[in-house]
Chain A
Amino acid sequence: MKRYLLTIYQPDGPIPPPEFLEPIIENLARLNDDLRRAGAWVFAAGLHPPDTATVVRAREGDLLLTDGPFTEGKEHIGGFTVIRAVDLDAALVWAGRLAGIVSPLAVEVRPIQGDDAA
């Protein structure tokens, strides 16, 4: 089995209204239930907006803290899911469902190191 990180990218800007977000959150909960039932769920989380972020760097024994995200861009990571799948095709099926729920947001699929191929 391999594990894959599914990352949801979303544009910066105001948070959409609850009536828009509620059905999405419901569908995400259903997807997570299905992932668990299939034995494919590893971890899933939605993130607070990037302006809540703190960047930490170690320089010559000192910790340097920066307020805000690592990179200021037009998009940020809104949330992520880690799944277990037999191969990329199986992972892409789950990623496709996730992309359908958060459409038109993009979902990036990346393999996690150290896992054996099926």
Chain B
Amino acid sequence: MNANAASTADVERVFRAESGRAVAVLARVFGDIGMAEDAVQDAFAMALARWPEGGLPSSPVGWIITTARNRGIDRLRRESSRADRHAQAALLHAGGEPAEENAVDDDRLRLIFTCCHPALATTAQVALTLRLLGGLTTPAIARTFLVPEATMAQRIVRAKAKIRDAGIPYRVPDTPELPGRLRAVLAVVYLIFTEGHSASDGTGLVREDLCVEAVRLGRVLAELLPDEEEVLGLLALMLLVDARRPARIDAEGLPVRLADQDRGAWHQGAIGEGLGIVRHCLRRNRPGPYQIQAAINAVHSDATTAAATDWPQIVALYDHLLALAPSPIAALHRAVAVAEVDGPDAALAIVDGLAAAHAALREHRVMHAIRADLLERLGRPGEAVRACDAAIACSGNEAERRVLARRRAALGGH
């Protein structure tokens, strides 16, 4: 056996880490994403057959890209002899341009913008991003979003066919459209993160792999677009929130509120990195919604105890956030900070005002959970129990329901 012999697990690790890069390069080479993906899968199948005996090549991703390109061209030659116009076009495309590794970064950026094109539904954007850039398998993505595998496979196939047939371009948008298109990309990455972080429909509370993948995509974007403050803001936001993951769940697997978390368990490395990015953004002074949300989380990260939190600063940051990007959910979270500054009665008035103005909030578990908390602090346990019941009724997450039930029980026989 070779000294560099690679295990199946090694090949899988390379696949998860590098398949996005390889698909991105080959999508440019072939001018077709589906073809690129097939070629990369072929190459990894060959790697599985060869690397365990022959050892890891010095550049695994380079080997994959070269092999995939050759396999893809072979396949195209076979198909183009059958007068497949599409294959002929792709072969023509592939013939001209060699796969240069130094163009890989641009290729990945192009692929991200293609996957998150606004002509694709959000569900399709998320699935394609995880599949093509994240290297997640279709069954894994289906499990994550709790849809049948056939449904997810169909969603991905349809999206790839639309990219090809509708001519969704494989390029980074021009400057005038870049901000709007970048917002869509950031929204997809953040959606992947929040889905992992709050697992809205699942039985568990955190789907770690999604959080990890979102942070990884955030890093790729930050590396590719280092001058876009909101890209950095999103990365910082995810790092700071994800740093609390070890403290977010108790021994029973139930979520722990920020105020009750063991701050010693927070991941200091991620916090340090997140805080560094927030400070860098503050110096750049071009604030946006992700940067402000990162700053809010930075204030929490700075506090050694919940009581030491600089709540007036958090209220001020929420005011800034609401001025830039008004949202009833952000206004709701501002009310939590107001409770710490001006007291629970002031906060309750805000929450009730928001619920009166936004029908969607009246069905939202977070609104009812916040009301329950405020009512309890105001010494109105009967109303707090009713708010708890409403929160339980609105929650789609088993772990959350159990925590709410525990709080309800603690409120006693009201």
Contact = CB atoms under 8 A, between A and B. Distances in A.
Interface stretch (A12-20, A31-39, A86-94): A86-94
Interface residues of B, number: 13
B167 A118 contact: yes
B119 A117 contact: no
B165 A111 contact: yes
Contacts of B169: 86-89, 118
Given A116-B85, A117-B31, A2 B119 contact: no
Interface in A76-118: 85-89, 91-92, 109-111, 113, 116-118
Nearest to B165: A111
A75 B109 CA distance: 40
Interface string B89-130: 100000000000000000000000000010100000000000
Nearest to B168: A88
A71 to B, nearest CB: 24
B85 A88 contact: no
Contacts of A116: 85, 89
B164 interface: yes
B327 to A, nearest CB: 25
A86 B168 CA distance: 10
Contacts of A110: 166
Contacts of A85: 167
A111 B166 CA distance: 5
A85 to B, nearest CB: 8
A117 B85 contact: no
A116 B167 CA distance: 9
Interface residues of A, number: 15
Interface in B58-82: none
A89 B89 CA distance: 21
Nearest to B181: A89
Interface string B164-197: 1111110001000100000000000000000000
Interface in B1-39: 31
Contacts of A117: 31, 89, 164, 167
Interface in A19-58: none
Contacts of B168: 87-89
Nearest to A117: B167
Contacts of B166: 88, 109-111
Contacts of B165: 111, 113
A86 B170 CA distance: 12
B171 to A, nearest CB: 8
Contacts of B31: 117
A93 B179 CA distance: 16
A87 B167 contact: yes
A88 B167 CA distance: 5
21 contacts: A85-B167, A86-B169, A87-B167, A87-B168, A88-B117, A88-B119, A88-B167, A88-B169, A89-B173, A89-B177, A91-B167, A109-B166, A110-B166, A111-B165, A111-B166, A111-B167, A113-B165, A117-B31, A117-B164, A117-B167, A118-B169
Given A88-B117, A88-B168, A92-B119, 13 more contacts: A86-B169, A89-B169, A91-B167, A109-B166, A110-B166, A111-B165, A111-B167, A113-B165, A117-B31, A117-B89, A117-B164, A118-B167, A118-B169
